Amino acid sequence: MTSRQVLVALGAARHLDADLILDLGDLHPAQHGALQLALDLEGDVITGADARVGLLHRSAEKLFEARDYRQILMLANRHDWLSAFSSELGVALTIEAAMGIIPPERATWARTLLAEVNRVTASLLLIGAAVPDAVPSLGIREELQELQERATGGRVHPMITRIGGLAHPLAPDWLEDLERVLARLTDQLPVMREAVSAAMAPLTGVAVITRDDALSIGVSGPVARASGVDLDLRRDAQLLAYPELAPLIDIPIATTGDIPARYRVLLAQIPVSIALACAAADRLRELGEGPVNVPLPKVVRVPESTSYGEFEGPLGRSGYLLSSVGEKTPWRLKLRTPSFTNVQALARALPGTPLTALAPAVTSFFFVVGDIDR
Protein backbone atom coordinates (compact mmCIF):
# COMPACT_ATOMS: atom_id res chain seq x y z
CA MET A 1 0.00 0.00 0.00
CA THR A 2 1.05 3.59 -0.63
CA SER A 3 1.80 5.74 2.40
CA ARG A 4 0.83 9.41 2.17
CA GLN A 5 0.04 12.41 4.29
CA VAL A 6 -3.13 14.46 3.93
CA LEU A 7 -3.96 17.82 5.52
CA VAL A 8 -7.70 18.10 6.09
CA ALA A 9 -9.37 21.49 6.63
CA LEU A 10 -12.58 22.07 8.58
CA GLY A 11 -14.57 25.29 8.62
CA ALA A 12 -12.67 28.51 7.98
CA ALA A 13 -9.41 26.54 7.65
CA ARG A 14 -10.54 25.84 4.08
CA HIS A 15 -9.02 29.21 3.19
CA LEU A 16 -5.56 27.90 4.14
CA ASP A 17 -3.53 25.39 2.17
CA ALA A 18 -5.16 21.94 2.42
CA ASP A 19 -5.30 18.66 0.54
CA LEU A 20 -8.89 17.94 1.48
CA ILE A 21 -11.79 20.10 2.69
CA LEU A 22 -14.22 18.29 4.97
CA ASP A 23 -17.69 19.83 4.84
CA LEU A 24 -19.78 18.77 7.84
CA GLY A 25 -22.78 20.88 6.86
CA ASP A 26 -23.83 24.35 7.94
CA LEU A 27 -25.27 23.12 11.24
CA HIS A 28 -22.13 21.57 12.68
CA PRO A 29 -20.17 23.82 15.07
CA ALA A 30 -16.88 22.95 13.31
CA GLN A 31 -18.09 24.91 10.28
CA HIS A 32 -17.97 28.12 12.33
CA GLY A 33 -14.35 27.90 13.39
CA ALA A 34 -11.05 26.68 11.96
CA LEU A 35 -9.49 23.27 12.55
CA GLN A 36 -6.96 21.14 10.67
CA LEU A 37 -6.36 17.40 10.83
CA ALA A 38 -3.01 16.12 9.62
CA LEU A 39 -3.54 12.47 8.64
CA ASP A 40 -1.16 9.65 7.77
CA LEU A 41 -2.72 7.15 5.37
CA GLU A 42 -1.96 3.62 4.24
CA GLY A 43 -4.13 3.29 1.18
CA ASP A 44 -7.45 4.71 2.33
CA VAL A 45 -7.05 3.84 6.01
CA ILE A 46 -5.91 6.41 8.58
CA THR A 47 -2.79 5.29 10.45
CA GLY A 48 -2.00 8.49 12.34
CA ALA A 49 -3.74 11.76 13.15
CA ASP A 50 -2.78 15.12 14.59
CA ALA A 51 -5.40 17.77 15.39
CA ARG A 52 -4.03 21.26 14.74
CA VAL A 53 -5.84 23.88 16.76
CA GLY A 54 -5.31 27.54 17.61
CA LEU A 55 -6.04 28.88 14.12
CA LEU A 56 -8.84 31.22 15.22
CA HIS A 57 -8.12 32.17 18.83
CA ARG A 58 -10.95 33.99 20.64
CA SER A 59 -8.74 35.29 23.51
CA ALA A 60 -11.55 34.77 26.03
CA GLU A 61 -9.20 34.25 28.97
CA LYS A 62 -7.25 37.45 28.29
CA LEU A 63 -10.48 39.41 27.86
CA PHE A 64 -11.59 38.17 31.29
CA GLU A 65 -8.53 39.82 32.84
CA ALA A 66 -9.54 43.21 31.40
CA ARG A 67 -13.20 43.11 32.49
CA ASP A 68 -14.83 43.38 35.88
CA TYR A 69 -16.70 40.40 37.26
CA ARG A 70 -20.10 41.49 36.01
CA GLN A 71 -18.76 42.07 32.51
CA ILE A 72 -17.09 38.67 32.48
CA LEU A 73 -20.48 36.97 32.57
CA MET A 74 -21.42 38.78 29.39
CA LEU A 75 -18.38 37.25 27.66
CA ALA A 76 -18.33 33.80 29.23
CA ASN A 77 -21.01 32.36 26.94
CA ARG A 78 -19.31 33.12 23.62
CA HIS A 79 -16.53 30.56 23.25
CA ASP A 80 -18.92 27.58 23.23
CA TRP A 81 -22.07 28.68 21.43
CA LEU A 82 -23.80 25.34 22.05
CA SER A 83 -23.34 25.61 25.83
CA ALA A 84 -23.85 29.34 26.28
CA PHE A 85 -25.98 29.26 29.43
CA SER A 86 -23.92 26.52 31.06
CA SER A 87 -20.71 28.44 30.35
CA GLU A 88 -21.85 31.66 31.99
CA LEU A 89 -23.33 29.68 34.87
CA GLY A 90 -20.05 27.85 35.53
CA VAL A 91 -18.18 31.14 35.83
CA ALA A 92 -20.86 32.59 38.12
CA LEU A 93 -20.79 29.55 40.42
CA THR A 94 -17.00 29.81 40.71
CA ILE A 95 -17.14 33.52 41.58
CA GLU A 96 -19.96 32.97 44.08
CA ALA A 97 -18.04 30.20 45.83
CA ALA A 98 -14.96 32.43 46.11
CA MET A 99 -17.09 35.27 47.58
CA GLY A 100 -19.20 33.07 49.84
CA ILE A 101 -22.44 34.08 48.09
CA ILE A 102 -25.46 31.78 48.39
CA PRO A 103 -28.10 32.55 45.71
CA PRO A 104 -31.82 32.37 46.58
CA GLU A 105 -33.49 28.98 46.28
CA ARG A 106 -35.66 30.12 43.37
CA ALA A 107 -32.52 31.11 41.44
CA THR A 108 -30.95 27.73 42.10
CA TRP A 109 -33.95 25.84 40.72
CA ALA A 110 -34.32 28.17 37.72
CA ARG A 111 -30.62 27.77 36.94
CA THR A 112 -30.99 23.98 37.10
CA LEU A 113 -33.92 24.11 34.71
CA LEU A 114 -32.14 26.35 32.20
CA ALA A 115 -28.99 24.22 32.35
CA GLU A 116 -31.00 21.13 31.42
CA VAL A 117 -32.80 22.92 28.59
CA ASN A 118 -29.36 23.99 27.33
CA ARG A 119 -28.25 20.34 27.46
CA VAL A 120 -31.25 19.33 25.36
CA THR A 121 -30.80 22.03 22.70
CA ALA A 122 -27.09 21.20 22.32
CA SER A 123 -27.82 17.48 22.00
CA LEU A 124 -30.55 18.05 19.43
CA LEU A 125 -28.27 20.13 17.21
CA LEU A 126 -25.46 17.59 17.36
CA ILE A 127 -27.91 14.84 16.41
CA GLY A 128 -29.57 16.87 13.67
CA ALA A 129 -26.22 17.90 12.17
CA ALA A 130 -25.10 14.28 11.89
CA VAL A 131 -28.43 12.64 10.99
CA PRO A 132 -30.61 14.95 8.87
CA ASP A 133 -33.32 12.25 8.86
CA ALA A 134 -33.87 12.97 12.56
CA VAL A 135 -35.89 15.99 11.42
CA PRO A 136 -37.97 16.42 14.60
CA SER A 137 -34.81 17.19 16.55
CA LEU A 138 -34.19 20.45 14.70
CA GLY A 139 -37.80 21.58 14.67
CA ILE A 140 -38.21 21.10 18.40
CA ARG A 141 -34.82 22.67 19.04
CA GLU A 142 -36.07 25.76 17.21
CA GLU A 143 -39.03 25.98 19.60
CA LEU A 144 -36.71 25.63 22.59
CA GLN A 145 -34.46 28.37 21.23
CA GLU A 146 -37.48 30.65 20.90
CA LEU A 147 -38.41 29.88 24.50
CA GLN A 148 -34.88 30.71 25.59
CA GLU A 149 -35.15 34.04 23.81
CA ARG A 150 -38.45 34.75 25.58
CA ALA A 151 -36.97 33.95 28.96
CA THR A 152 -33.58 35.62 28.60
CA GLY A 153 -33.75 38.07 25.71
CA GLY A 154 -30.95 36.24 23.87
CA ARG A 155 -31.39 33.51 21.30
CA VAL A 156 -27.74 32.45 21.20
CA HIS A 157 -26.19 34.31 24.17
CA PRO A 158 -28.74 34.22 27.04
CA MET A 159 -26.91 36.58 29.45
CA ILE A 160 -29.54 36.01 32.14
CA THR A 161 -27.02 34.84 34.75
CA ARG A 162 -25.90 37.29 37.40
CA ILE A 163 -23.44 36.93 40.27
CA GLY A 164 -25.75 35.76 43.03
CA GLY A 165 -28.61 34.51 40.86
CA LEU A 166 -30.50 35.51 37.71
CA ALA A 167 -31.51 38.82 36.17
CA HIS A 168 -35.22 38.02 36.52
CA PRO A 169 -37.52 35.08 37.31
CA LEU A 170 -39.06 32.62 34.84
CA ALA A 171 -42.74 33.43 34.22
CA PRO A 172 -45.41 30.80 35.08
CA ASP A 173 -46.82 30.81 31.52
CA TRP A 174 -43.30 30.29 30.18
CA LEU A 175 -42.92 27.19 32.34
CA GLU A 176 -46.17 25.80 30.93
CA ASP A 177 -45.08 26.43 27.33
CA LEU A 178 -41.75 24.77 28.02
CA GLU A 179 -43.40 21.66 29.40
CA ARG A 180 -45.63 21.39 26.33
CA VAL A 181 -42.59 21.50 24.01
CA LEU A 182 -40.73 18.96 26.14
CA ALA A 183 -43.77 16.65 26.04
CA ARG A 184 -43.73 16.78 22.22
CA LEU A 185 -40.03 16.05 22.25
CA THR A 186 -40.64 13.01 24.46
CA ASP A 187 -43.17 11.73 21.92
CA GLN A 188 -40.64 12.17 19.09
CA LEU A 189 -37.74 10.43 20.82
CA PRO A 190 -38.55 6.93 19.50
CA VAL A 191 -38.54 8.23 15.91
CA MET A 192 -35.25 10.02 16.46
CA ARG A 193 -33.74 6.96 18.12
CA GLU A 194 -34.71 4.78 15.16
CA ALA A 195 -33.28 7.24 12.62
CA VAL A 196 -30.00 7.61 14.50
CA SER A 197 -29.65 3.88 15.05
CA ALA A 198 -30.17 3.13 11.35
CA ALA A 199 -27.70 5.81 10.26
CA MET A 200 -24.97 4.77 12.70
CA ALA A 201 -25.27 0.97 12.46
CA PRO A 202 -22.78 0.67 9.54
CA LEU A 203 -20.19 2.52 11.67
CA THR A 204 -20.07 -0.04 14.46
CA GLY A 205 -16.51 -0.52 15.69
CA VAL A 206 -15.24 2.61 13.92
CA ALA A 207 -13.22 5.38 15.63
CA VAL A 208 -13.06 3.64 19.00
CA ILE A 209 -11.75 5.45 22.05
CA THR A 210 -11.06 3.01 24.87
CA ARG A 211 -11.87 3.62 28.51
CA ASP A 212 -8.16 3.79 29.39
CA ASP A 213 -7.51 6.35 26.65
CA ALA A 214 -10.53 8.40 27.70
CA LEU A 215 -9.27 8.48 31.29
CA SER A 216 -5.68 9.31 30.32
CA ILE A 217 -6.77 12.22 28.12
CA GLY A 218 -9.31 13.50 30.65
CA VAL A 219 -12.34 13.21 28.39
CA SER A 220 -15.73 13.85 29.97
CA GLY A 221 -19.39 14.10 29.03
CA PRO A 222 -21.13 11.85 26.49
CA VAL A 223 -17.85 10.97 24.74
CA ALA A 224 -16.35 9.60 27.97
CA ARG A 225 -19.54 7.85 29.07
CA ALA A 226 -19.73 6.07 25.70
CA SER A 227 -16.36 4.50 26.59
CA GLY A 228 -17.50 3.31 30.01
CA VAL A 229 -16.30 6.27 32.11
CA ASP A 230 -19.04 6.69 34.72
CA LEU A 231 -18.62 10.37 35.61
CA ASP A 232 -21.20 13.15 35.82
CA LEU A 233 -20.94 16.17 38.11
CA ARG A 234 -24.72 16.43 38.37
CA ARG A 235 -24.60 13.21 40.38
CA ASP A 236 -21.05 13.36 41.77
CA ALA A 237 -20.90 16.96 43.09
CA GLN A 238 -23.14 19.15 45.25
CA LEU A 239 -24.16 21.58 42.51
CA LEU A 240 -27.38 23.60 42.11
CA ALA A 241 -30.52 21.58 42.88
CA TYR A 242 -29.12 18.29 41.58
CA PRO A 243 -28.70 16.67 45.03
CA GLU A 244 -32.47 16.95 45.54
CA LEU A 245 -33.07 15.52 42.06
CA ALA A 246 -30.70 12.58 42.51
CA PRO A 247 -33.36 9.85 41.91
CA LEU A 248 -33.96 11.28 38.41
CA ILE A 249 -30.28 11.40 37.41
CA ASP A 250 -29.96 8.13 35.50
CA ILE A 251 -26.61 8.45 33.75
CA PRO A 252 -26.48 6.51 30.43
CA ILE A 253 -23.28 4.52 29.95
CA ALA A 254 -21.92 2.47 27.04
CA THR A 255 -18.72 0.45 26.79
CA THR A 256 -17.85 0.04 23.11
CA GLY A 257 -16.53 3.60 22.66
CA ASP A 258 -17.36 3.70 18.95
CA ILE A 259 -19.41 6.13 16.85
CA PRO A 260 -22.83 4.51 17.47
CA ALA A 261 -22.14 4.34 21.23
CA ARG A 262 -21.48 8.06 21.41
CA TYR A 263 -24.78 8.85 19.73
CA ARG A 264 -26.67 6.34 21.87
CA VAL A 265 -25.38 8.04 25.02
CA LEU A 266 -26.13 11.50 23.61
CA LEU A 267 -29.70 10.49 22.82
CA ALA A 268 -30.18 8.69 26.13
CA GLN A 269 -29.33 11.81 28.16
CA ILE A 270 -32.21 13.78 26.60
CA PRO A 271 -35.06 12.08 28.55
CA VAL A 272 -33.01 12.51 31.75
CA SER A 273 -32.73 16.24 31.09
CA ILE A 274 -36.45 16.46 30.30
CA ALA A 275 -37.31 14.81 33.62
CA LEU A 276 -34.97 17.13 35.52
CA ALA A 277 -36.33 20.24 33.79
CA CYS A 278 -39.95 19.29 34.49
CA ALA A 279 -39.17 18.54 38.15
CA ALA A 280 -37.45 21.93 38.46
CA ALA A 281 -40.49 23.63 36.90
CA ASP A 282 -42.77 21.95 39.44
CA ARG A 283 -40.52 23.10 42.28
CA LEU A 284 -40.52 26.69 41.01
CA ARG A 285 -44.34 26.68 41.07
CA GLU A 286 -44.28 25.44 44.67
CA LEU A 287 -41.86 28.19 45.70
CA GLY A 288 -44.03 30.92 44.19
CA GLU A 289 -42.83 34.49 44.00
CA GLY A 290 -39.65 35.68 45.59
CA PRO A 291 -36.14 36.99 44.92
CA VAL A 292 -33.90 35.39 42.28
CA ASN A 293 -30.70 37.29 43.10
CA VAL A 294 -28.86 38.86 46.03
CA PRO A 295 -27.94 42.54 46.50
CA LEU A 296 -24.36 43.27 45.50
CA PRO A 297 -22.09 46.28 46.02
CA LYS A 298 -21.58 48.61 43.08
CA VAL A 299 -18.10 47.22 42.57
CA VAL A 300 -17.72 43.44 42.95
CA ARG A 301 -14.37 42.29 44.30
CA VAL A 302 -13.37 38.68 44.92
CA PRO A 303 -11.18 38.32 48.03
CA GLU A 304 -7.54 37.50 47.39
CA SER A 305 -7.58 33.77 46.75
CA THR A 306 -7.16 30.96 44.24
CA SER A 307 -10.14 28.68 43.70
CA TYR A 308 -11.35 26.10 41.21
CA GLY A 309 -14.91 25.43 40.09
CA GLU A 310 -16.45 22.84 37.80
CA PHE A 311 -19.73 22.37 35.98
CA GLU A 312 -21.20 19.56 33.87
CA GLY A 313 -22.13 21.22 30.58
CA PRO A 314 -23.71 19.64 27.49
CA LEU A 315 -20.35 18.61 25.99
CA GLY A 316 -18.72 17.56 29.24
CA ARG A 317 -16.99 18.89 32.33
CA SER A 318 -15.78 22.50 32.29
CA GLY A 319 -13.26 23.81 34.83
CA TYR A 320 -12.62 27.38 36.02
CA LEU A 321 -9.38 28.32 37.80
CA LEU A 322 -9.87 31.74 39.38
CA SER A 323 -6.97 33.69 40.86
CA SER A 324 -7.81 37.00 42.52
CA VAL A 325 -5.66 39.68 44.12
CA GLY A 326 -8.68 41.48 45.54
CA GLU A 327 -9.30 43.79 42.60
CA LYS A 328 -12.49 44.25 40.57
CA THR A 329 -10.98 42.17 37.76
CA PRO A 330 -9.51 38.66 38.07
CA TRP A 331 -5.75 38.29 37.98
CA ARG A 332 -6.35 35.07 36.04
CA LEU A 333 -9.42 33.08 34.97
CA LYS A 334 -8.27 29.93 33.21
CA LEU A 335 -10.76 27.66 31.45
CA ARG A 336 -10.64 23.89 31.06
CA THR A 337 -13.05 23.06 28.27
CA PRO A 338 -14.50 19.70 27.16
CA SER A 339 -14.04 20.38 23.44
CA PHE A 340 -10.26 20.53 23.84
CA THR A 341 -10.03 17.03 25.31
CA ASN A 342 -12.68 15.70 22.90
CA VAL A 343 -10.50 16.71 19.94
CA GLN A 344 -7.50 15.06 21.59
CA ALA A 345 -9.60 11.90 21.87
CA LEU A 346 -10.59 12.23 18.21
CA ALA A 347 -6.92 12.21 17.17
CA ARG A 348 -6.34 9.13 19.36
CA ALA A 349 -9.37 7.28 17.89
CA LEU A 350 -8.81 7.97 14.17
CA PRO A 351 -6.01 5.45 13.43
CA GLY A 352 -7.64 2.41 11.82
CA THR A 353 -10.59 4.47 10.54
CA PRO A 354 -11.33 4.38 6.78
CA LEU A 355 -11.02 7.77 5.16
CA THR A 356 -14.63 7.40 3.98
CA ALA A 357 -15.73 7.41 7.65
CA LEU A 358 -13.76 10.53 8.60
CA ALA A 359 -16.77 12.88 8.59
CA PRO A 360 -19.00 10.79 10.91
CA ALA A 361 -15.99 10.11 13.14
CA VAL A 362 -15.31 13.84 13.51
CA THR A 363 -18.94 14.72 14.22
CA SER A 364 -19.21 12.00 16.88
CA PHE A 365 -16.70 13.68 19.20
CA PHE A 366 -19.03 16.63 19.96
CA PHE A 367 -16.86 19.73 19.98
CA VAL A 368 -17.15 23.45 19.27
CA VAL A 369 -14.04 25.00 17.72
CA GLY A 370 -14.40 28.22 19.75
CA ASP A 371 -14.33 26.07 22.89
CA ILE A 372 -10.93 24.73 21.76
CA ASP A 373 -9.44 28.07 20.64
CA ARG A 374 -10.74 29.89 23.70
Each residue's pLDDT tens digit, 302-322:
999 999 999 999 999 999 999
Distance CA 44, CA 353 (A): 9
Residues 8, 154, single domain; the answer is no
Distance CA 177, CA 278 (A): 11
Q: Which amino acid is at 73?
A: L
Residues 83, 173, single domain; the answer is yes
Distance CA 146, CA 151 (A): 9
Indicate the helix (H) or strand (E) that contains 6. strand 3-11
326, 302 contact by CB (below 8 A): yes
Residues of the chain with pLDDT under 70: 1, 134-135
Residues 18, 68, single domain; the answer is no
pTM above 0.85, yes or no: yes
Per-residue pLDDT, 134: 66
Beta bridge partners of residue 35, listed in sequence order: 10
Residues 113, 181, single domain; the answer is yes
Per-residue pLDDT, 135: 61
Residues 264, 353, single domain; the answer is yes
Residues 183, 36, single domain; the answer is no
Residues 35, 183, single domain; the answer is no
Domain limits for position 42? 3-52
Residues 337, 190, single domain; the answer is yes
Task: Provide the CA 308 distance to its chain's centre, in angstroms.
Answer: 19
Residues 165, 142, single domain; the answer is yes
Instruction: Give me the number of domains the chain comprises.
Output: 2
Residues 279, 137, single domain; the answer is yes
Residues 45, 135, single domain; the answer is no
DSSP class of 163: T
Per-residue pLDDT, 1: 59
Q: What is the pLDDT of residues 15-70, one digit of tens each?
A: 888 898 988 887 787 777 888 999 999 999 999 999 999 887 778 899 999 999 99
> For the domain that residue 214 is a member of, what is the CATH number?
1.10.645.10
- Using alpha carbons, list the distances in angstroms from residue 275 to 147, 249, 305: 18, 9, 38
158, 85 contact by CB (below 8 A): yes
Distance CA 160, CA 169 (A): 10
Residues 86, 232, single domain; the answer is yes
Per-residue pLDDT, 247: 96
